[in-house]
Structure 1
Amino acid sequence: MEEIIIVGGGRVGIRLIDLLNKREDYHITLIDDNKKALSLIKEKYETVDIVRGNATNKTVLENAGIENADIIVAATSIDEVNLLIGILSQGYHLKKIIARTANPSHIKMFKKLGLNEVVSPELTTCMDIQKLIINSLSVKMLTTGSDDMELVEITVKSSKVVGKEIGQISPSKDFIIVLCNKNNEDIIAQNNIVLSKDDKITVLVKSNKIKKVKKYFTKSGLLSSI
């Protein structure tokens, strides 16, 4: 039996449970932080295990059994959350990591970060995810709480970061660099990449820290550290 973790008890997550619950070869665990939604889902799907919490927290993923899971599906309505879950999940021995994206422009970046199973657009999401799961039969930034995350592209200007390796800067408590574009070539962010002036970086950042993080990378003399 395949162990499947679904993150997100919204429309897509529920539809996916409907599709997979008809088969006997899957055991499903659902992660969500909405108590009312989880109560309704548990009432309808008695065989589905429920874990309440924020799946961008490694402890919550482990409580859901990710260490023994075969597949995880990040099916929330927020691309940034699905991306972070995908990044965290790469630290486990999963057969497949599937991420939902509502924004087709994010597909290329998701794949560059190792999330090769990316599903969009919304109208075909559930059936596409089901096919990916059925066919499968043959970073360190841990957030806690409910902080919103956004993907932001920043052009490096500050003398405080130019010449530094990514590993000296990222991850921090507020952001993680996920991509670096040098000379029009996208490179997955690795610790030994040295930032140059006018490099374009894609950063996963807490929504309430965007202004601060942008200044850190673009304005010399404003911030000495972050």
Structure 2
Amino acid sequence: GTSSKLLEETNIEDADFFIATTGNDEANLLSCIIVRKYDVETIVARVSNPEHEEAFKEVGIDKVISPEISAARDLAQFVMNPRASKITTLGEGNAEIVEMTITNNKVIGKRFKEVSPTKDYIIIATYQNGKLVIPQPENVINPGEKVSILVKGGTMKKVSKDLEK
């Protein structure tokens, strides 16, 4: 990816995406800079060293991905709340969808509309007999009810406190 000739041989000018995923930040950065002159619509790069992320963004790379940072974030999430399992992250990490089991007696027996939505989360699904169900405002929360929740970034600890023991 650091050779213009090789990129042209692979018809880079027809590409909609270019993704640089080597383990070498310098090679990824150089290849992305070279690819920019071919008007590729979206350029994505892997960065190993978090200190290099800003340099990637400064040269106009559309999306910078760090598996190391993602893994550290996931590990921290697990350590902070081992009972919740993350399904996905949304946006730039500004929100995530998690599954957890409601165990807080202050919530059990209440209607969904009394508990959700809040400024920090919204319960988007519940599971009854193994099947996903969209909770209706009047439905009552049962003991041990498994739910999927859209959680605003940085509020998982509070959400866990609200819904779990």
Which structure has the greater CA radius of gyration?
2
After TM superposition, the score normalised by the length of structure 1 is 0.34
After TM superposition, the score normalised by the length of structure 2 is 0.45
